Structure formats: C-alpha cells, structure tokens
Amino acid sequence: MCTAISYTYKKHYFGRNLDLNYPVVPSFVFVPRNYEIKFKSLNSLKKHKAIYGIGLAKFNYPFMFDCANEDGLCFAGLNFPSNAVFNKVKDDKINLAPYELCLYLLGKYSSIKEVKEALKDISISDIPFNEYLPLSTLHYIMSDKEECIVIEQTKEGLKVYDNQYGVLTNNPPFYYHALNVNNYMNLTPKEPTNTFAKDLKLVNYGKAMGAIGLPGDSSPASRFIKATFLLHNVNKYEEDYKNVNEAFHVLNNVSTLKGESVMDDGSQEYTIYTSVYSASNNELYVRTYDDQELTMFNLAKEDLNSEYINTYDISFTQKVSEIN
C-alpha cells in the first residue's frame, strides 16, 4: 500500500508514503545529467535532465521509488497488484520496463504535456532487470506545476488519466477512485447545517461534525478519499516550509502503523518513509517510521554535470534534541 499527493499553490509540491510489508533501506539518490542511463530495449541516454529522489542504487543502476527532475516534473510508482499488466516487446513501440519508465520520462521531458504525447508511443514491457529481481506491479502518478496524471497499464492497454484530485493510492484502478469521490461530496470541513429535517431542532454537539463519514481505515479506497479531502481543505501558505509541513500532515493522516495491517504470513505492512518534494525549489524532505526528524536533499548543492550516481543515507534511528 502507498499514498501519493500533488498540489500547486504558487509552487509545486509532491509527496508519498511508501508502505511495504518487507524490509527495505532506501537512500537519497541523485542521477546527474551525464550519468549514462541504460535501457534494455533502446539506446541509452548519455545526456539528460538531472534526477533526484528516493530509491536503491544497485548494480550501478538507480531503482527509484519516487523522484523529480531539475525542471520540477515529479514521479512515483505505487503498488497495483493483479491489475498491472506487462506487454511483450513490441516492434512499433518504445519498450520500457517498469523500473525504466521514470528515468526515461524524467530524463527527457519537462512537462506533463510532453509526457502525455510521449506515452502514446510507449509500452510498459515484461523485461526483468535480472533473474533475481522480479518486476514490480505498479501504476504511476506524475505531476508538474500545472497538471497531474495517472498512468495505468492493464489488460485494456495503457491508459492516462487526468487527475484533478492530486491523489493516488492502490487498487482498484483509478477510474473507480474518481467515481467513488462523488459519494462523499456532502462532507465539509465547516460546521454542518440541518438538512436532515427542518422541523427538528438539531445541534452540533462537537467539532468537525461536517466530516462525519470520512473514512478512517487504511484500505486504498479509504485512503484515497481521506487524502483528497485533506489535501483540498488544508491551509495553503505563502511560506514554502509551511506548505511542506502541511503536506507531511496530510500524508501522516493516511500513513499505516506497525500492527495495523497484518498479512496472512504474519508480516506487517507499514509506512517505511514519507517524502515531500518542494519541486519548484528542487528540494526533497524525508522522514522515516523510526526517525520523525526531517532530512533534506538540495539539488542546488550537487554537481549536475557529473557522470556518477550519488547516494546519501536516510536515518532509521530516532534523533532527539535535548533542551537541558
């Protein structure tokens, strides 16, 4: 399970929770302009836009969970089991493995408008990196300052949806979530008025009663509704750091705690990390389940023209500031 959000208030913000039921220790990963990005079925990108994000650098290759490029185009892959379909290699298409898609799109393009056009020629293909790494069944959210889209390849083919909500979770497919939002249009962050029966004297005996019925469980459909409600109703600020904080608060409200989601094999799914991109500033903030202190990556401090991937550790041990 995972949740991703995107919104623009003067600047562009993007973020996600990574929820897994197996251990993973990701890093900050920086892919400079002159690192050669190799693909299985097409020529490599020897020069491209700088990319940064959270992922794993293995076999001298950046496997990105979420990322952005120097122009503010953002990308995240979220679990989409049973629905995601991979094609065999097609002669008339640009064939990209799931782990290659973000690097190709962010390496070449600056806007969602360009990405939409490029996706007309792309097929997400059944091309494993090697025999030890199975393909991840994912769907994808991308955004820039102006637009947000969802990319899903199912048995019906590759579909691109405009995403006015700025939210993505997991199953079912995106069209279901978009329809389901309509069931909650009566919710409001304001105090409700009596539309139940005008002849009855009804009172608001508590706060936030206008949002009674807002889902609170961690299922994908419920997280989609709650994240959408919060994202579109939280305060927006002139100060960048306040908007970053609000994005973390939204994601915290749809995070999964240890013990909340237990698999049949006894493993527990939980939010391993939360990331928030101040994409207009090329800054990435991260906190983990076991360390709630924010760590920030600043693209401006990197050599954008380097040829080598750079990684930085993310803390998974809580740090505490003492005052006496």
> Which residues share a beta bridge with 11?
9
Q: Which helix (H) or strand (E) holds 63?
A: strand 61-69
Tokens coding 119: 């996706």
Alpha-carbon separation of residue 48 from 23, 35, 74, 171 (angstroms) = 32, 8, 15, 33
Task: Give the separation between CA 284 and CA 52, rounded to whole angstroms.
Answer: 8
- Considering only CA atoms, which of 20, 31, 5 is closest in space to residue 308? 31
Catalytic site includes residue 2: yes
Task: Give the separation between CA 8 and CA 182, rounded to whole angstroms.
Answer: 22
Half-sphere exposure of 220 (CA within 13 A, CB side): 19
Q: Which helix (H) or strand (E) holds 180?
A: helix 174-180
Which residue in the block uniquely carries the two structure tokens 């700088």? 50
Task: Given the residues 2, 67, 102, 148, select the one marked as catalytic.
Answer: 2
Q: Which residues are catalytic?
A: 2
